[in-house]
Amino acid sequence: MTTEMTRTTCRILLLPILMISVGVLVKGYADIGDGFSAGVIASLGIILQGVAFGAEEFDRLPLVRYAPLATFAGLFLALAVAFLPVVSGDPIFLHHPVAGDSATHFGALEFITPVLFDIGVFLIVIGFCVGSIGAVARETVRRERDRGAQAETRRGSPGAPAERGDRR
Amino acid sequence: MPEFITNPNLALLLFCAAFAAPLLTTVIGTWRPALTGIVAIVTTAACLAIVGISYVAELSSINVPWSETLGLRFHLELDGLAQMYALLATGIGLLVVIYASRYIPLHLEHHHRGLDEQPRFFGFLLLFMAAMVGLVMAGDAILQFVFWDLTAIASFYLIGFDRDREDSRTSALMALLVTGISAVLVLIGVLMLRSELGTYSIPEMITLESGGTNVGIALGLIGIGALAKSAQVPFHFWLPNAMTAPTPVSAYLHSAAMVAAGVFMIGRYYPMIASFDWLLDAMLVIGFLSIAVGGVISLTRDTLKQILAWSTISQYGYVVVMFGLGNEYGLTGATFYVLAHALVKSALFLTAGAVTEATGATEMSETGGLARRMPVLALGSGLAAAGLIALPLTIGFFKDELFFAAAWERGPAFGALAVLSAALTFAYVSRFWIGVFLGPVRIEPRSISWFLTGPVLVLGVSTVIFGLWTAPVIGIAESAATLPANGPAQIEIAYHLDARHENVMAIATWALGILLVVSERWWSPAARAVASLGDRVGPERLYNRTLKGLEYVSDWIHRVEVRDLRSRVATILAPAGILVGLAVIFTPNSDAFEIGNFDRGDLPVAMMLLVTALAAIAVSIPRDHLRIVITVSCVGFSLSVIYSLLGAPDVALVAVLVETMLGVFFICMLLLMPRSILRFETREPSERFGIRRDIVLAVITGATAFFVVWGVLSRPSPSTELIDRYEELTPLAHGRDVVTVILADFRGFDTMGEITVIALVMLGVMSLIRKGRLR
């Protein structure tokens, strides 16, 4: 079990880490970093919670529960950005605004479709990293529970064979 | 009214209707299983109606490009040949679907399967019909090939419909392999034709001058594919095995559709085939061999459907022979023969199914005397059998008349062979009908539905009707024969009461046939000997041997590869190392492997490289898994330092992140491994042999990688043009960071592929750990 200090620090760190990852994502076109790096940063922030609070708590986080679905949401978003231009007869991966046009600004931020594609990549990476670690976390929790139940039955009726044995 | 209603494009309409049929049947059938049969019947009837209308409308076609750079076009043409085969596919298809709408529920009930499997059957049956319709209309060779393969796939599911039975699965696989592998030959042939003649369009190919050897070889390859599909010697063995399919499938695929597709293909390419005598001679040999093998073995079989299957091999031999003879009678005769044969043979197949349904018997020796108990069925199949043995007043009489005329024109020897062949047919068909319907009653039949006997009666009666009123059939066959003949084709058939060759030959055939029927006791041991010789040394044995051998090799490789994790890694590294090593040795490399200058600015990079190398060596030292993971991370982290030293911050950032994530993944995997195994692996020393092998492998792959990298780096980089261009374009793409712009824009398609892989791996993880549940 981790100390209170670790847990508090990790909880406080989560939001800044997510902020940084979003920053890396939206500024990716102008600066170092892109959807992939942003995704991994955010995933590491979320996984840090698992390290601090243990597998059971981790598995209960909504961010972890819905992560696998995020993968496919991201895939569809990326596919849409890539292939929707085909509908109007343009080549795939035609990004808007096209070369020469000026982009809409919001502060220093530019609204351009490559960022949408990068958001798709971001969602896929986050879904993959958090989703797989979440799957492992849930599996370990399940095994722990099985082992507990097994010990319980053994204690309850001495000599009776265990119903659910170790799988390996 | 709009133009597309008053004057529709029938080719396109038929195509859409044919492919809508399986879709509608499956969707509605899944929703309401009871409606499956009705939907199937209605949609098939609609297709048949469109084919019918096409005979009174003008020639319709659609020809649009769909991949212009490759020269591919979506070209469908409802010409005479296409009309005839489409008529067979939809007409016989309709009767078979009506029959199956009653047969399949009973069949499923016998096998204790749910009625909800009906849509699966009708879906694939109609998909087959649609593929057949597409095949016959296709004017583009590649499009034709697509439909050709689609028929093989649909037939795989139909033959293997009783998937709980092993013989059914092996037969389905056999049919798929024989017709599928030969389909590859068709594709090769088509590509050769394209490279020789410069077009995929079949009508265009035919107009071109084409006498080259390569064209001949290409046509030969297509011919092999076609003959395999038509179950001709030596590819015939899949057809008798395919009899494990439910009866409607046999009646449809193995009399009117799948096997007919083969001779259709020959007809389509015939104007080109005709200019190569050796192709025609080969067809003659194969055709006569098939007639003999199919006929003799059919005489020895006892299972009803087996008799018919072997007889089909023999009957399509006739068609191939007539194409091989190639004279005017032969061409028109071949198309006419397919039409007549489909009519009568499907009736006989349906008869076999009905008999089995009524009595439960599948063997001829178990049945008998059914003429008195089931007069309607006996009448229907009797008329069909009369058609097949070419008695006068049936449509079948003319198919043999044309056959005799074509053979006689070639010479008396061919005439004699033709008479022998026809006598063989006479013998096995009579044996079938007499065995089932005459003699003592062995099993008392149950009464069966009209849906099972009706189609047989319809087919039988139409055999006689078209034997008397020949005009429509002749019209269909003539318009079909114009395409193989590449010009007008005329058939003049009528009953003549004189001593012309055809009549004499027909009478000789009947006399010989009757002689064969009554003398069964004397020749049957010889026929049996031929059949058992075929079992022992025939092509089927070769097929089984090859399959077994391949399985053995595959098992052996599998065993070597998956023995343990190390051998799995070895099977990847060893071939890669050896192959790349050979490539390095045989590449001319005069300027490669130079040692460049070393100035003081390179010192930090060199030091970090040393750290990386030391970390890599250190990986091999610890035995504890956690320590191995951490040491591996060390290698990665020191590499990312090198990236940042070389001025690649994007790469360095990704490397650090990936390395951190990988460490977490590795530790998670260790969590999932049973503790006892981890502990065992930590303590137990590896086998001596293993260590020696690992060292050899490591040296080979390491040395190869070293020399490849050295060789690449000592060459001056080819040009920085591309990089400059990317940098120049980046502002235009509204970006300032070249790497990100490359990933999301310039090379976006690559990124798309990579992230799709991530999503697939995700699915894999979820199915392994969570049995596929995503939440």
Any domain includes A63:
yes
Q: How many CB atoms lie within 10 A of CB B179?
A: 28
Residue A80: per-residue pLDDT: 92
Q: What is the pLDDT of residues A4-63, one digit of tens each?
A: 898 999 999 999 999 999 999 888 778 888 889 999 999 999 999 988 988 888 888 888
By C-alpha distance, the chain A residue nearest B756 is: A75
Q: Residue B148 above 90 pLDDT?
A: yes
By C-alpha distance, the chain A residue nearest B746 is: A93
Q: Is there a contact between B229 and B179 (Cβ–Cβ < 8 Å)?
A: yes
Average pLDDT on B118-143 reads 92
DSSP state letters, A107-145 = TTEEE-HHHHHHHHHHHHHHHHHHHHHHHHHHHHHHHHH
Domain residue limits at B769: 720-775
Per the model's pLDDT, the better-predicted residue between B587 and A65 turns out to be: A65
Residue B589: per-residue pLDDT: 64
List of chain A residues whose C-beta atoms are within 8 Å of the C-beta of residue B765: 131-132, 135
- Chain A: give the shortest CA distance to residue B723, in Å: 17
Task: Enumerate the H helices of B492-564 as residue ranges.
Answer: 501-518, 520-537, 539-561
Any domain includes B365:
yes
Q: What is the pLDDT of residues B247-262, one digit of tens each?
A: 889 888 877 788 899 9
Of B740, B755, B775, the CB nearest to A29: B740
In chain A, how many domains are there?
Answer: 1
For residues B11 and B76, what is the distance between their CA atoms, to the nearest angstrom? 6
Q: CB–CB of A132 and B765 under 8 A? A: yes
In chain B, how many domains are there?
Answer: 2
Any domain includes A97:
yes
Query: Looking at the complex, does the CB of residue A138 fall below 8 Å from at least one CB of chain B?
Result: yes
Query: Looking at the complex, does the CB of residue A87 fall below 8 Å from at least one CB of chain B?
Result: no
Q: Identify the burial level of B372 via C-beta atoms within 10 angstroms of its C-beta, where 0-12 means exposed, 13-18 middle and 19 or more buried.
A: exposed
Q: What is the pLDDT of residues B678-687, one digit of tens each?
A: 888 777 665 5
Q: What is the pLDDT of residues B100-115, one digit of tens each?
A: 998 888 888 888 888 8
Q: CB–CB of A128 and B758 under 8 A? A: yes
Residue A94: per-residue pLDDT: 83
Among B518, B553, B568, give the residue marking a domain's end. Answer: B518
pLDDT band at A122, cuts 50/70/90? very high
By C-alpha distance, the chain B residue nearest A105 is: B734
Q: What is the CA radius of gyration of chain B?
A: 34
Q: Residue A157 above 70 pLDDT?
A: no
pLDDT band at B655, cuts 50/70/90? very high
For residues A43 and A36, what is the distance between their CA atoms, to the nearest angstrom? 11
Residue B239's nearest CA partner among B301, B162, B165, B159 is B159
A109: which strand partners?
A106
Give the helix/strand (H/E) hosting B73: strand B72-77
> What are φ and ψ of residue B257, in 5° steps?
-120, -75
Cα B684 to Cα A156, B24, B213, B510, B623, distances in angstroms: 37, 63, 67, 84, 10
Any domain includes B619:
no
Per the model's pLDDT, the better-predicted residue between B594 and B410 turns out to be: B410
Average pLDDT on B696-710 reads 86
- Chain A: give the shortest CA distance to residue B767, in Å: 10
Any domain includes A110:
yes
Residue B690: per-residue pLDDT: 67
Q: What is the pLDDT of residues B92-102, one digit of tens each?
A: 899 899 989 98
By C-alpha distance, the chain A residue nearest B765 is: A132
List of chain A residues whose C-beta atoms are within 8 Å of the C-beta of residue B668: 132-133, 136-137
Q: What is the pLDDT of residues B569-582, one digit of tens each?
A: 888 888 888 888 88
Any domain includes B166:
no
Token pair, residue B135, equals 């095949």
Any domain includes A166:
no
Q: CB–CB of A132 and B665 under 8 A? A: yes
Residue B516: per-residue pLDDT: 85
Any domain includes B624:
no
Residue B683: per-residue pLDDT: 77
Taking the CA atoms of B447, B449, B454 and B455 in sequence, report the sign of the dihedral they define: negative
Say how many Å lie between the first and final Cα of chain B, rounded: 55
The SS3 assignment for B201 reads: strand
Residue B723: per-residue pLDDT: 80
- Angle at CA B488, nearest 5°, toward B484 and B491? 90
Of B672, B736, B761, the CB nearest to A128: B761
List of chain B residues whose C-beta atoms are within 8 Å of the C-beta of residue A118: 740, 744
Any domain includes B760:
yes
Q: Residue B664 above 60 pLDDT?
A: yes
Q: Residue B614 above 80 pLDDT?
A: yes
Q: What is the pLDDT of residues B39-63, one digit of tens each?
A: 999 999 999 999 998 888 888 888 8
Say how many Å lie between the first and final Cα of chain A, rounded: 27
Residue B524's nearest CA partner among B345, B308, B236, B302 is B302
Token pair, residue B32, equals 């309401």
DSSP A89: T
Domain residue limits at A93: 4-156
B128 Cα distance to chain centroid: 11
Any domain includes A46:
yes
Among B518, B545, B571, give the residue marking a domain's end. Answer: B518
List of chain B residues whose C-beta atoms are within 8 Å of the C-beta of residue A110: 734
Any domain includes A84:
yes
Q: Is there a contact between B272 and B205 (Cβ–Cβ < 8 Å)?
A: yes
Q: Residue B645 above 60 pLDDT?
A: yes
Residue A168: per-residue pLDDT: 39
Give the helix/strand (H/E) hosting B76: strand B72-77
Summarize chain B as % helix, strand, coil (round to 5): 80, 0, 20
Any domain includes A163:
no
Among B494, B518, B542, give the residue marking a domain's end. Answer: B518
DSSP state letters, B39-64 = HHHHHHHHHHHHHHHHHHS---EEEE
Share of residues in chain B with pLDDT > 70 (%):
97
Q: CB–CB of A100 and B743 under 8 A? A: no
Q: Residue A139 above 50 pLDDT?
A: yes
By C-alpha distance, the chain A residue nearest B674 is: A168
Of B668, B737, B756, the CB nearest to A31: B737
For residues A121 and A78, what is the distance between their CA atoms, to the nearest angstrom? 7
Interface of A with B in 33-52 (CB under 8 A): 33-37, 40-41, 43-44, 47
Of B657, B674, B752, the CB nearest to A168: B674
Q: CB–CB of A114 and B671 under 8 A? A: no
Suggest the residue from B671, B734, B739 to mutate for an interface test with chain A (most A CBs closer than 10 A): B734
Residue B775: per-residue pLDDT: 67
Residue B113: per-residue pLDDT: 85
Of B654, B677, B774, the CB nearest to A69: B774
Q: Map tokens 């003659």 to a residue.
A: B284
- Chain B: give the shortest CA distance to residue A25, in Å: 10
Q: What is the pLDDT of residues B344-353, one digit of tens each?
A: 888 898 898 8
Query: Do β-strands B61-67 and A109-111 pair in parallel, antiparallel, or remain unpaired?
Result: unpaired
For residues B159 and B154, what is the distance between their CA atoms, to the nearest angstrom? 9
Any domain includes A164:
no
pLDDT band at B399, cuts 50/70/90? confident
> What are φ and ψ of residue B75, in 5° steps?
-120, 110
Q: CB–CB of B733 and A114 under 8 A? A: yes
List of chain B residues whose C-beta atoms are within 8 Å of the C-beta of residue A138: 770
Residue A160: per-residue pLDDT: 44
Any domain includes B401:
yes
Cα B543 to Cα B235, B528, B549, distances in angstroms: 10, 22, 10
Token pair, residue B214, equals 């390569």
Q: Residue A75 above 70 pLDDT?
A: yes
Q: Residue B670 above 70 pLDDT?
A: yes
Residue A161: per-residue pLDDT: 46
Least confident of B25-34, B177-186, B477-486: B477-486
Any domain includes B629:
no
Suggest the residue from B633, B654, B661 to mutate for an interface test with chain A (most A CBs closer than 10 A): B661
Residue A162: per-residue pLDDT: 44
Provide the mean pLDDT of chain B.
86
List of chain B residues whose C-beta atoms are within 8 Å of the C-beta of residue A69: 774-775
Q: Residue B339 above 50 pLDDT?
A: yes
Of B677, B736, B765, the CB nearest to A29: B736
Measured CB to CB, residues of chain B less than 8 Å from chain A are 649-650, 653-654, 657-658, 660-661, 664-665, 668-669, 671-672, 674, 677, 732-737, 739-741, 743-745, 748-749, 751-752, 755-756, 758-759, 761-762, 765-766, 769-770, 774-775
The count of CB pairs under 8 A between chains A and B is 144
Q: Residue B1 above 60 pLDDT?
A: no
Token pair, residue B317, equals 């031999």
| Residue type present at position B292 | A
